Structure 1
């Protein structure tokens, strides 16, 4: 499974409209609460490493009075999980929580956390971000309020009364191969030497496979022969799902779109191995589906094993 895919909770979506039941779950002594501030997740240090900070209900009572967002995430073995969301209140959180906890960017801290913790925080991050960014109705501009345990926002304008639901932006990501080489590109803002797979957002009126072919053509000029689904990954930065594919190109002809990519190159396995060994090439981090797509293509030749070169 890809990073952020190990969420252990049963979401119990059918229970969300029952406000009385949700309040009962919140008041359970064994309820567990996560905390998000802007795009940062509350974590804690232990002797064995970092963990998601999971507060008990009593510890979170004071925080709940200040929270701008409260969402029921689901339950595991009868234990309900919630997230409290804040914005522009870092000093208040620090005063209440003290030095035992810290706020961290999940994008950079995910590899230091157990994978179920990372998945929980990714889910929580997505829900808090959506609630904080949809406090006004996109239809009429009126204020919205939270309902269905944080999974629906309803317009306060009785003449509008629209219901709004969390949005996930669909993006495709693909490792393209031709013969013994794969196509990797880089954006100018990336660290020196970093190359990754081709990616882009799905547009209205197209299938995922069409989006793969279009992005490859637009960014690199490469025409694809076959497109095959690989796997998917929640990507809460801020609210996407990455749908991964492998594809075979008709040829290696490149026509680069310099507005999208600074460079794109065909890399053989031996060139990737040499680049990783001498430090001239960097691949995406382990938490990304891009790394897994490259790894699975690279390791398809039994003479190579990417883990031995990257160390992870």
Structure 2
């Protein structure tokens, strides 16, 4: 399983519309509350544990929160998320700090990272769907934060959280893999090819199209690898492995700053001399590179990166 996939909760979607039950769970003595402010997650000091507030600790926050979402339960323990466009400093609980989950994910237990990512995605969706896309009227939260309903009686549409599908693919040919980089990335960082699914496409067609558009590479085979929730802000990354017809490149420099073929030996040398960086280890991009790289050779990619 990839990072952000280890959500331990039973979502109990069937009880979300029951407002009385939601009130009961909110007041439950074991209820735990996560806080998201402007896409930042509330964590304990040193960002090594999530801040699971007890319900009584979160009462003042709940009174000011713009969003409250029931995330699900683990055994008898219900979990909620409170969301703010910007948490007032006076409400920030002592001994806690706000952090970008993408910067600290590897420091956290995997289940906590998954819960924080889930909470972040739900809060982001609620805060950015305050108006009905059909008629422009205000929406209000229902189904415990999982549906927004139009307030206009003439419209009354129900809107649901969206997930944008993206493909991500490790392309190989012989003893080399194809990696590219964006201008905004850290110097020396390369990752695999990725892009969003377009209407009317299959996932495999999107893989072939993105490879052709960004690098000019044609593919002879495509195989599914795994997927990863990526609520930054609202995507699912669907991972593939593909084999190229050849190593001819025609890089689209409007899309990428660079793309090139890397042999395993070149990856080892680049990591050891500091000229090459891998994507974050919690990303499916790293997982795809790692699984290809570790098939042969004396090195393991995770050990090289750690070193």
Structure 1 runs, 4 residues or longer, greater than 6 Å off? none
Does 2:138 align with 1:140? no
| Displacement of 1:50 | 1.4
Q: Distance in 2 between matches of 1:178 and 1:308?
A: 24
Normalized against structure 2, the TM-score is what?
Answer: 0.98
| Displacement of 1:311 | 1.4
> Which residue does the alignment assign to 1:65?
63
Conservation of the 8 A alpha-carbon contact between 2:4 and 2:114: yes
* Residue-by-residue CA offset, 1:130-171 (whole Å, 9 max, x unaligned): 000000000100000000000000000111100000001110
CA-atom RMSD, angstroms?
A: 1.1
Q: 2:151 is matched with which residue: 152, 156, 159?
A: 156
> Which residue does the alignment assign to 2:98?
103
> Which residue does the alignment assign to 1:13?
13
Conservation of the 8 A alpha-carbon contact between 1:37 and 1:90: no
How many residue pairs get aligned? The number is: 307
- What secondary structure sits across from 2:99 in the alignment? strand
Q: Distance in 2 between matches of 1:256 and 1:90?
A: 46
Conservation of the 8 A alpha-carbon contact between 1:68 and 1:84: yes
Q: Which runs of 5+ in 2 are unaligned?
A: none
Normalized against structure 1, the TM-score is what?
Answer: 0.96
Q: Distance in 1 between matches of 2:36 and 2:182?
A: 30
> Which residue does the alignment assign to 1:31?
31
- What secondary structure sits across from 1:84 in the alignment? strand
Conservation of the 8 A alpha-carbon contact between 1:222 and 1:253: yes
- What secondary structure sits across from 2:240 in the alignment? strand
Q: Which runs of 5+ in 1 are unaligned?
A: none
Query: Structure 1 residues 302, 216: closer, same or farther in 2, change over 3 A?
Result: same
| Displacement of 1:233 | 0.5
| Displacement of 1:308 | 2.3
* Residue-by-residue CA offset, 1:175-200 (whole Å, 9 max, x unaligned): 00001100000111111111100000
Q: Distance in 2 between matches of 1:172 and 1:90?
A: 38
> Which residue does the alignment assign to 1:204?
199
> Which residue does the alignment assign to 2:172?
177
Q: 1:56 is matched with which residue: 54, 57, 73?
A: 54
